Each structure stands twice: as C-alpha cells, then as structure tokens.
C-alpha cells in the first residue's frame, strides 16, 4: 500500500509517526478515522495491534533471512510494542509514548510477578537502539529476536 505514495509523502508520514510514537500504519488508520468521522471500537483497536504485531514479526524474520539485522531489529521491537499495545487496549488503556510503554510494562511486571517480562522488554528495546546505532552482532540480533518472540507469546497468554 505504501509503495503507491510519493517519497515526500512517505517521509512526512514517517516523521509524523515518529513524533507521535506510532507506527505508520497506526497513523494512517488514525488519519482515515478522523477524515471519515468515525472511530475504532475496542475490538477493532485490539485487532489492529495484533495484526501489526504479527506483520512486524514476519517482516523481522524476512529481514533476518536477508541478513538485514538493522531492519530486523526495528521490526522486532515494533512487534513487541504492538503486542503491548494490544494487551493495554484489552485493559481499556491507550499507550501513546515510549514513557507510557515503560510505565505499563513496569506495572505489568508487578501485577504478574514475572520478572522475565522485564528482561525480555529490555531486550526488545536494545533492538530498537540497534536500529539507530547498529552495534549488535548478527548473532546477538538473532538471539534477541527469539527473545522478542518469547515476549510476545508471554503477552498473548495474558490476553
């Protein structure tokens, strides 16, 4: 879908998504909802986050196969974030910033008493940092992506 957009328009979408701490897909859905004067209900929001998590995880695996560890890092982080947003949505919460993700995860760790969730979330964030700094080895990225998969499965079980 985005391949139909001009580079300038896609760059603007990326900038705005980054500013809002959202994926481009989330931003497009938000813009369309406002333009069409409608809003997503809880199940639609939940479905959006679940589909995006699956999409980003699939893309991460494809980037791993291609040897693009930087893109695999970012897509894995995006998959983790979307799963967190899905769980929060199910609880009636909306997370719109990095800070809100961290606060939510700290609360979730306390509620579940599952300290492994914290470690797996930290790993996902290392992948996000790796997207910008490219400091992780290919082996580290591969292992971290496996941790993100485990993180996502743990969150799915909480749903």
- Whether 76 and 144 have beta carbons less than 8 Å apart is answered as yes
Residue range(s) of every CATH 1.20.120.330 domain in the chain: 52-158
- Whether 84 and 104 have beta carbons less than 8 Å apart is answered as yes
pLDDT digit string (tens) for 61-82? 999 999 999 999 999 999 999 9
DSSP structural state of residue 70: H
Pairwise CA distance, residues 46 & 70, whole Å = 28
CATH 1.10.1060.10 fits 52-158, yes or no: no
Work out the burial of residue 148: count CB atoms within 10 Å of its CB; fewer than 13 is exposed, 13-18 middle, 19 or more buried.
buried
pLDDT digit string (tens) for 105-151? 999 999 999 999 999 999 999 999 999 999 999 999 999 999 999 99
DSSP structural state of residue 97: S
Q: Can you tell me the mean pLDDT for 79-102?
A: 96
Q: Name the pTM for this structure.
A: 0.89
Pairwise CA distance, residues 44 & 137, whole Å = 38
Q: Calculate the alpha carbon distances from 27 to 10, 59, 96, 147, 151 in Å.
A: 12, 19, 11, 27, 25
How many C-beta neighbours within 10 Å does residue 136 have?
A: 19
């Amino acid at each position: 879908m985005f391949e139909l957009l001009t580079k300038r328009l896609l760059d603007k979408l990326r900038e705005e998504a980054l500013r809002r701490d959202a994926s481009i897909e989330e931003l497009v859905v938000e813009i369309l909802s406002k333009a069409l004067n409608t809003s997503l209900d809880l199940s639609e929001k939940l479905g959006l986050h679940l589909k995006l998590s699956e999409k980003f995880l699939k893309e991460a695996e494809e980037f791993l196969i291609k040897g693009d560890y930087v893109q695999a890092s970012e897509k894995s982080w995006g998959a983790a974030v979307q799963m967190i947003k899905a769980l929060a949505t199910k609880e009636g919460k909306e997370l719109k910033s990095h800070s809100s993700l961290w606060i939510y995860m700290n609360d979730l760790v306390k509620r579940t008493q599952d300290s492994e969730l914290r470690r797996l979330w930290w790993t996902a964030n290392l992948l996000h940092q790796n997207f910008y700094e490219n400091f992780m080895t290919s082996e580290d990225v591969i292992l971290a992506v496996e941790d993100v998969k485990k993180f996502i499965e743990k969150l799915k079980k909480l749903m």
